[in-house]
Structure 1
Amino acid sequence: MSGRPGFASRALDGVPEPDFADVQLVPLRGATGIAPDDWVRAIFDRRSLPIAVKALFGLRAVLVPFIGLNQARERASNPFEVEDVADGEALVTHDEPHLLFRLGVAVDDEAGLLRATTVVVHHNWRGRLYFVPVGVLHGPVLRSMMLRAVERAR
């Protein structure tokens, strides 16, 4: 990567018209030399979750059967498992009956930035309904989780 932030992300591959797209950038503050897949694990580590978000994830777990989420994946220790790492970006993908979710996490040590690109496509009314509160909270919550992960990595 160059010294300037780039905004190309594999999370956008094959999604010409996302229903939701978001990019969060946070400074590394010296937490360099960490691979993108390790950043995904750090961001979604329970220690990165604010208390209110832990409660929301608990509520989400209760609602899983009603919104069509993959219940086995939701019971996993980390439902945000890295699918692969390529081109300096870790990719998390969930294609569920209600929506497609993609998250690309890239790190630019030279520029000192951690980037998370989120892309969502609603498949049906359940996806649109589910994403009403999630869409409002997504940016601030993800940014908070990223900042906590960076703080722990320093």
Structure 2
Amino acid sequence: MITIGQTFQVTQTLIMEDVKRSLSSVLDSVEGLLGVVITDRDGVNLIKATTSSCPELALKLNFLATFGMATEQASKLGVGKNKLIITSYGNYQAVQFNRSPLLVTLIAESNSNTGQLLNLEGTLNPLIENLSAVIGETRVDV
């Protein structure tokens, strides 16, 4: 006999597998895109898709958590809620979207088309909404 908990767990697993497949297909959609990482506000990795060329340091908690802190500070400037941050490094660029309660980080080569990376927000929105729903259902109020 299948319990409600087992059904819920199977549903979560299927959604996560679908999200991971979709993220992997997004990697091929922009030349030079090396990684897509979805985290919580604290930078904890929930799901990611990367190529072998993706810099390991860009996947670490301290790098990913910085956006959450920076977006909070930027929102205090009095010009509204911060939606995204684009950061350029020597060989790489990072585009980070605030999709509260989740954050999306795109890591790409420095010569990748930033406009195409920005356009991925619309592509990723349905995935983020599904993932947010799964996360919202698994939270436990204490």
TM-score between both structures, scaled by the size of structure 2: 0.39
Larger gyration radius, structure 1 or structure 2: 2
